[in-house]
Chain A
Amino acid sequence: DIQMTQSPSAMSASVGDRVTITCRASQGINYFLAWFQQKPGEVPKRLIYAASNLESGVPSRFSGSGSGTEFTLTISSLQPEDFATYFCLQHDSYPLTFGGGTRVEIK
Chain B
Amino acid sequence: EVQLVESGGGLVQPGGSLILSCAASGFTFDDYAMHWVRQLPGKGLEWVSAITWNSDTINYAASVKGRFTISRDNAKNSLYLQMNSLRPDDTALYYCVRYVAVVSLEYWGQGTLVTVSS
Contacts and interface: CB of A to CB of B under 8 A. Distances in A.
Nearest to A97: B47
Given A94-B50, A95-B61, A46 B104 contact: yes
Interface size class of A (residues with CB under 8 A): 20 to 34
* Chain B contact patch, size range: 20 to 34
A32 B103 CA distance: 8
A100 B44 contact: yes
Given A34-B103, A34-B105, A94-B50, A87 B44 contact: yes
Interface stretch (B16-24, B71-79, B80-88, B106-114): B106-114
For the complex, would chain B's binding face be called helix, strand, loop or mixed by DSSP majority?
Answer: strand
A34 B104 contact: yes
Nearest to B45: A98
Interface of A (DSSP majority class): loop
Most buried by A among B45, B46, B60: B45
Interface string B47-69: 10010000000011110000000
Closest A-B pairs by Cβ, 5 of them: A96-B47, A34-B104, A94-B59, A49-B103, A43-B108
7 contacts: A1-B62, A50-B102, A91-B101, A94-B50, A96-B50, A98-B44, A99-B44
Interface of B: 35, 44-47, 50, 59-62, 95, 99, 101-106, 108-111
Interface of A: 1, 32, 34, 36, 43-44, 46, 49-50, 53, 87, 89, 91, 94-101
